[in-house]
Homo-oligomer: A and B are copies of this chain.
C-alpha cells in the first residue's frame, strides 16, 4: 500500500514537472514567435535614433529621449513609470573639429577625426606639429622626451582581428584611446591622435571615453578614422617631417541634471522583489546610437510589452531600467544602486543588453556557482533559437554595480562580428539594425525574465 501511494505520488510529481516543463518551453517558444511577428521595438528604435538622434548625457536630446521613452511605456499600459534623477558629467564637443595633414611631397589633406569623450580641446588657434607614430606605450617610453616633446603622438596599433569574439579584438587596442594622451603627455607631447578602435576599414572616426592621469598635463585626445590612419602612416613613411594641424573645441561644463527612467510590471506575489532588464539611453553625440545602445533600450521596453501582449503576469516585479550616462561615467548606474540601497529594495537578478541589436547567441552570466547552474539549466529552452552560449563572464557596465547585492547579473550576448564596425561612430544608424535580430534579443531577455520569475 505504501509502495502504491509512493508510486502515485511519484507519478503525480513527474507529471506535474513534465507539464510545467512543457509549459515553460511553450511559453519561451511563444515569446520568441510573438516577438518575430511584432515590429514594436523596431519602430521605437526608428523614433529614438532617427527623430531624437544623438543623445549624449547632459544634452537636451538625452532628456527628450527619456521623456519619449516614458511616454512609450505609459502608452503601453505599464504599471508604474517614473524618472530617477541623477547628476551626469557634461562634456561637450563644441562644434566642428578639423585635422589637416600637410606634406611637402603630397600637399594637404583633411582627415576624419573626432575628440574622445572627456578630452580637452586644442583652443581656437589649434595645434600644428610633427607627428611621431607608435604602436605601443613602450615605444613612447623608449622615444622619451627627446622623441616626443613638442610633437603629436599617433597611436596606430590596430585592433587585432585574430579573435573570434570581437570584444577581445577591441580590448587589444582600446588602451591607446583611454590612456594614450597621458602616456604621451608625460613626455611633452602636444596632442594624442589614435587609430579608431574598430575592426572596420572605414572613413568614420570612432569616439569613446578617455581618462586623464590627473598628475600629468591634459592634452587633446583625438580619434582618427582607420582609413585616414593608414593614409597618415603611409605619408609619414615618405615624409617623417610632415605637419599635422588639429583644431578642436571640446570642454567640460559643471555637471548637469539628468535621469534614469524606470518602468515596472508589478509582481503578483512579490511586488517588492525586482528583476531588472536594462540598457542605456545616452549615446555619443556623433551617432544615432542604434546598436549602442538604442537596441538595449527598446529591447528592455519590449520585455514589458511582450509580457503584456502574452498576458504573462510576473510573480516578481519586472523593472525596465533605462540608464543614463553609460558612455561617460555610469552615473545613472551608480545612482540606481544608491536608490536600491536607500529603499532597501530586494533584487532577484539583472539583465543588461548593451552588445547591439544583433542575433542573440546566449548570456554572459556573473553569478554564484549555484545560481549559474540554475541559469545554465535554462539553456535548453533557448537552443531552438540557436542560443547556445550560456557562459560564465561579465554582465554589463550598467548592471555591474548591483554585484554588491550578490544577485545574478547577466549580459545578453549577441553575434558581435559587426558590433565594433559601428561602435561609437556616425555609422551606427537605424538601418544597420535588422528588425528580426532586434526582436529576437528582446524575446531572449523576456524569456530569461520569465524563467527567473518562476
User: A417: which B residues are within 8 A, CB to CB?
Assistant: 359, 434, 436-437, 440
A380-399 CB contacts (< 8 Å) to partner B: 383-386, 388-389
State whether B415 touches A32 (Cβ < 8 A). no
Q: Mark A418-454, 1 if CB is under 8 A from B, else 0.
A: 1001000000000000101100100000000000000
State whether A162 touches B36 (Cβ < 8 A). yes
User: A33: which B residues are within 8 A, CB to CB?
Assistant: 162
State whether B389 touches A418 (Cβ < 8 A). no
Q: Judge if A163 is at the interface, Cβ distance under 8 Å.
A: yes
User: A37: which B residues are within 8 A, CB to CB?
Assistant: 161-162
Which of the four size classes fits the interface of chain A?
Answer: 20 to 34
What is the CA–CA distance of A32 and B161 in the complex, to the nearest angstrom? 11
What is the CA–CA distance of A439 and B308 in the complex, to the nearest angstrom? 41
Q: Contacts A359-B415, A415-B359, A415-B415: A386 and B437 contacting too (C-beta < 8 A)?
A: no
User: A385: which B residues are within 8 A, CB to CB?
Assistant: 164
User: A415: which B residues are within 8 A, CB to CB?
Assistant: 359, 386, 415
State whether A384 touches B164 (Cβ < 8 A). yes
Q: Which of the listed residues A37, A384, A385, A436 has the most CB atoms from chain B within 10 Å of its own CB?
A: A436
Q: Judge if A295 is at the interface, Cβ distance under 8 Å.
A: no
What is the CA–CA distance of A386 and B389 in the complex, to the nearest angstrom? 7
A438's nearest neighbour on chain B, judged by CB, is B417
Q: Judge if A193 is at the interface, Cβ distance under 8 Å.
A: no
State how many copies of this chain the complex holds. Answer: 2
A347-392 CB contacts (< 8 Å) to partner B: 359, 361, 383-386, 388-389
What is the CA–CA distance of A440 and B437 in the complex, to the nearest angstrom? 19
User: A166: which B residues are within 8 A, CB to CB?
Assistant: 436
State whether A436 touches B161 (Cβ < 8 A). yes
Q: Contacts A417-B436, A418-B434, A421-B434: A36 and B163 contacting too (C-beta < 8 A)?
A: yes
Q: Judge if A246 is at the interface, Cβ distance under 8 Å.
A: no
User: A120: which B residues are within 8 A, CB to CB?
Assistant: none
Q: Contacts A386-B389, A388-B388, A440-B417: A36 and B164 contacting too (C-beta < 8 A)?
A: yes
Q: Mark A123-143, 1 if CB is under 8 A from B, else 0.
A: 000000000000000000000
Q: Judge if A199 is at the interface, Cβ distance under 8 Å.
A: yes
Q: How far is the CB of A114 from chain B (nearest CB, A)?
A: 22
A160's nearest neighbour on chain B, judged by CB, is B37
Q: How far is the CB of A99 from chain B (nearest CB, A)?
A: 26
A24-60 CB contacts (< 8 Å) to partner B: 32-33, 36-37
A157-185 CB contacts (< 8 Å) to partner B: 161-164, 166
Listed A/B pairs (26) with beta-carbon separation below 8 Å = A32-B164, A33-B162, A36-B161, A36-B162, A36-B164, A37-B161, A37-B162, A161-B436, A164-B384, A164-B385, A164-B440, A199-B436, A359-B415, A359-B417, A361-B386, A383-B388, A386-B388, A386-B389, A386-B415, A388-B388, A415-B415, A417-B434, A417-B436, A417-B440, A418-B436, A418-B437
Give the top 10 A-B pairs by smallest Cβ distance, nearest first. Answer: A388-B388, A417-B436, A33-B162, A36-B161, A417-B437, A359-B415, A418-B434, A37-B162, A164-B385, A37-B161
